[in-house]
Structure 1
């Protein structure tokens, strides 16, 4: 009897049609965009609304620090989602966890839009806000790994950088929708109306967006790689334990690779709102529009960066962008000293361009560090734990450094160190190995055919 390896050619492609590949790309993109819309609405509100209505204080810096603390809770809770849903992704499938995570974050965001303020119910209001933020983070922590695998495992493994970038486009697309909604509300409502009820609209419409995402995801089957795992009987029984025992270097490499992009993104899309408004005197609308333009361009630059990383060494593309981000950190603050709205847009766009060429290839790089049978667990753990030491504390640290030293230089140094850690992670990591995917697909298909023939 022929072995399963002998039943398929070595260069076999994923056993799906082009239509299924595009459906998976769209499902990964739209679902992640909708989830990050919810997450980004909170991030923007934490910078410009929540310090006033949930954390009132005579010192505006104190209110901002408290608001950013709840922002960090959304990152700290991500490992909970990564542990729960990452493991389940390797045990029960990628598709099922994506439906659950989408509902979790959607319900939490909708309830934030209904939450009474500090003036209404006192300290209970920020307490509930923290709890709902925690739930958001759990959902996002489980979302990313599944979304990346959904698009990358349906696509050609030789073009994983492009296909995996579908999930990476989600954050800028979600950020674009979130800041667009907030910008429209800011421009059409008075300051009093915006703080009274306007900000709630952006949270409440998430119900419609999540319903649309569920409709797309429920139409998909699970990925060919997971089906191959089932056919081979190769699903891990204790994936977390196995990753921690056998995949320590890949886990560290993937975690460190994320720190620089996370900190840079927090700088461009969260801290800039506070710094631009409170320190430089820009109008809220000017800063939101600048972030809006940068996020819109990322929708195109991220898949481009992923595609380029398929043709050029992925770690090289990633590393060059990390160096560029470290240099940009200083130039950004220098050009902003002129308080020009045009230079504000230029600075944010260039920062998010550097981010695109790290974040675009990032999904493929992280996935490639782990074997197919442990990808969901390994990728989710790396993504979520890196978020704690990267994006979670970044806005808080930026604000603390600025208020302590009354200078932007420590802030720029902080970002440079984060980019250096990313370079260390890239050096520890490995390049793409598509042979693993092809071997799984070949033997999985052969095993399935063998079962059907009996």
Structure 2
């Protein structure tokens, strides 16, 4: 059970707004505009899709071309590790973003904070597409690449918590899982778009053209996507739960310290619960792309096409499981995802090593199925663990701390294990990460029936 918040800082914030306006709906106001449920869902979905697109195109580029362009003096293996290290740096920066954006999100509001996170993420991504390589500006190239990657990480660190709160704080208690599916679906859609753009460029361009300028196109598209996302987010009103908190003048001065003081268990175990989701996803999407194309000799276009199939599985699973979490409970499904991940970790690479496209598709799809089972309920589960006055900070920090281990450090360990110990060791490492999530979830409560004012 969570630690009770002080009575003065826990105003009732349970929202029961219907998804669409009706005769029984409250009158439209600046705080609750007509059609707000639909607008919020669209804003959460499109905003997270854009930000995850920005994040994933970097991962794909790191696996395919960045080692040659920014670390040419290193051996192929060392260059790949260096490019993956820049990928990991983004994860290390994400908790910083969660703390900074969470502070302002819990003090001045969800909407304004999300607009800034979108701008930071989108513009830093777009400028990667304009960055000269090592051959043009020398060591300044990888340094600037790292700086832009850090800014990406800070931006995304502030994105997820706010987008999840937009959905959950507008949702009726009985449909929070369904509402929270909107920001969760942004991840597979953003990943599908990123992989699809790279697949189309890889199919349509000669290898030399792709490696010299074609890889930049997905980054430059971010300029357009930021404009679209900004227009949508500026139309979003503040959530009713936070509006009540502001009216009560009970916003806390330093939300991060309040989270640590009141919710240390939820913070650490929430981070542990999400570790396996990150491990399954980034192993399948980043390391496997490098391993199959450079070690197994599978054509790049084939792997990008097979990855698109697996992402489709992820998207369908995420939506279905998020919706079912309103009926079956968040924790039960998360536990099932951790158990399935534990088992799949041991069969994933034997399937991959066959070099058979059908079995590779099954291997990747199984990994992203595991990820979807865990990813779907998290949009509602993590926010439900924290009170309104610190919810942006608490959910965001827990989510991004899990990302440091599962999405930042783990891919480097996986790459090193794969190089020195073989893929069997990689499978056992992934299984160990699943055990961490399983034990964390066993120590956390079910939250489906909770009113948001009860935490």
TM-score, structure 2 normalization: 0.92
Q: Secondary structure in 2 aligned to 1:154? A: coil
- Which of residues 275, 280, 283 is equivalent to 2:291? 275
**How far off its partner does 1:129 sit?**
0.1
Q: Secondary structure in 2 aligned to 1:205? A: helix
Count of matched residue pairs: 433
Alpha-carbon distance change, 433 to 347 in structure 1, aligned in 2, over 3 angstroms: closer
Aligned to 1:314: 330
How is 1:199-214 mapped onto 2 (pairs within 5 angstroms)? 199-214=215-230
Does the CA contact (< 8 Å) of 1:13 and 1:438 recur in 2?
Answer: no
**Deviations 1:358-400 (Å, cap 9, x if unpaired)?**
0111121111111122111101111122211110012211110
How is 1:58-77 mapped onto 2 (pairs within 5 angstroms)? 59-77=75-93
Alpha-carbon distance change, 67 to 12 in structure 1, aligned in 2, over 3 angstroms: closer
**How far off its partner does 1:329 sit?**
1.4
Aligned to 2:144: 128
Does the CA contact (< 8 Å) of 2:15 and 2:240 recur in 1?
Answer: no
How is 1:64-213 mapped onto 2 (pairs within 5 angstroms)? 64-213=80-229
- Which of residues 255, 258, 268 is equivalent to 2:274? 258
How is 1:34-49 mapped onto 2 (pairs within 5 angstroms)? 34-49=50-65
Aligned partners of 2:236 and 2:424: how far apart in 1?
49
- Per mean C-alpha deviation after superposition, the further-off stretch among 369-378 and 135-144 is 369-378
Aligned partners of 1:10 and 1:48: how far apart in 2?
47
Alpha-carbon distance change, 90 to 58 in structure 1, aligned in 2, over 3 angstroms: closer
Alpha-carbon distance change, 100 to 199 in structure 1, aligned in 2, over 3 angstroms: same
The unaligned stretches of length 5 or more in structure 2 are: 1-11, 22-34
Confirm whether residue 13 of structure 1 aligns to residue 28 of structure 2: no
Does the CA contact (< 8 Å) of 1:322 and 1:354 recur in 2?
Answer: yes
Aligned to 1:437: 452
Aligned partners of 1:398 and 1:136: how far apart in 2?
23
**How far off its partner does 1:421 sit?**
0.8
Q: Secondary structure in 2 aligned to 1:140? A: helix
**Deviations 1:123-162 (Å, cap 9, x if unpaired)?**
1100000000000000000001000001111111222122
- Per mean C-alpha deviation after superposition, the further-off stretch among 173-182 and 152-161 is 152-161
- Per mean C-alpha deviation after superposition, the further-off stretch among 242-251 and 17-26 is 17-26
Aligned to 2:238: 222
- Per mean C-alpha deviation after superposition, the further-off stretch among 342-351 and 198-207 is 342-351
- Which of residues 389, 392, 407 is equivalent to 2:408? 392
**Deviations 1:166-186 (Å, cap 9, x if unpaired)?**
111111111101010000000
Does the CA contact (< 8 Å) of 2:331 and 2:447 recur in 1?
Answer: no
**Deviations 1:166-210 (Å, cap 9, x if unpaired)?**
111111111101010000000000110001100011110111111
**How far off its partner does 1:165 sit?**
2.0
Aligned to 2:428: 413
Q: Secondary structure in 1 aligned to 2:451? A: helix
Does the CA contact (< 8 Å) of 2:181 and 2:319 recur in 1?
Answer: yes
- Per mean C-alpha deviation after superposition, the further-off stretch among 431-440 and 279-288 is 431-440
Q: Secondary structure in 1 aligned to 2:150? A: helix
Does the CA contact (< 8 Å) of 1:372 and 1:436 recur in 2?
Answer: no
Does the CA contact (< 8 Å) of 1:10 and 1:439 recur in 2?
Answer: no
- Which of residues 361, 368, 371 is equivalent to 1:345? 361
**Deviations 1:224-273 (Å, cap 9, x if unpaired)?**
11011112222112211111111111111211111110111111111110
Alpha-carbon distance change, 15 to 189 in structure 1, aligned in 2, over 3 angstroms: closer
RMSD (CA atoms) = 2.0
Does the CA contact (< 8 Å) of 1:368 and 1:431 recur in 2?
Answer: no
Does the CA contact (< 8 Å) of 1:369 and 1:429 recur in 2?
Answer: no
Aligned partners of 1:214 and 1:428: how far apart in 2?
39
The unaligned stretches of length 5 or more in structure 1 are: 1-8, 441-454
**How far off its partner does 1:300 sit?**
2.4
Aligned partners of 1:257 and 1:201: how far apart in 2?
36
Of Structure 1 and Structure 2, the greater helix share is in 1
Confirm whether residue 293 of structure 1 aligns to residue 296 of structure 2: no
Aligned to 1:422: 437
